[in-house]
Structure 1
């Protein structure tokens, strides 16, 4: 469970991060384009460790599934997050939500809409890593690096078995259950196949690459996207 203490601590770090960003001197290009890294992963591919490694190296906060769910579930926290965007950002946020729900065949549930609002608000602040909850699909393509972590099933079962010190049978059942739940969430809300590589900018096989190597490749790809974005600033920045 994600305790209230952990939620409060995490949100405190987030607000400190946002406040620190506002105080830093920035040139026009850096202020205009704020990227988010969204990570989708199969169970047993070290998604949390890789996200933390990337966040630590960039000095960015990491939002995982439990924290995102608490943000969407807690009306007070959700409202505070939406209130943290200014008027120009709020206009951008509404446009993104309208576009997502109008153009894509997505779920119309209250919870899902609040989750999307939370994801987009975090993305608008930028400079953060988001793990799971359909972020690779919900967030704007132009300012999101979409990463998918994969590995062979047997390798993933062994990874879960080591992490939880459990039997192979229990680890296999856990992998199957979590994969099914995650795939069902994305498929039911976004009506896409989360395993389709065309939905991502970068697909990494964690059986072949270490956590550090995955982080290296994610950071290198982020830098490429940043450089490419500089040539398209008028199209990326809200008027």
Structure 2
């Protein structure tokens, strides 16, 4: 894994701290570093092939973003999304995604629907391969695409940081959740294609209710237990 992380850093033209932060964030979201896992500066410096200074700076930002907790005398550990955090996230998602689904049903073009169905195909294939990091990435990509299809630029602009956490929470429970999630996505895209805003809004709400229940169950089970 360390070589892959170093390769990602070397290919970017960003301040080193920002490169380390992006790589650290991705490693946590993809499940390479699990909730509760200790992240020493020395270990991360070795993983990323950098000095400790940009690692220290990146950890401070990752803590502010909610991906890391820095504890006295123990240092940094990967955060564990709490039930409260998950409830807050889904409270926002319900408002955003039900509106986006309704608007998408009213405004989607044939090309938009083709693009959404291509993502469904990718998600199904990744689920069959058990490529859970890719499944989680595609989950967020699909929802962000629906926000774009809604035609309301404010929905997309306020959602970017949220969907990093959506991807993370989904990835933590993806082994159990992925097959059900993609079946629900098909229902959602079918509803958008129908042009029926009420149907699309209901499909989005049903999907979010199921996703929220699964995320809460996963949090209560301690993430690694399932």
TM range (shorter): under 0.3
Q: Which has the higher contact order (CA 8 A, sep 6+)?
A: 1
| TM superposition score normalised by structure 1 | 0.24
Higher strand share: 1
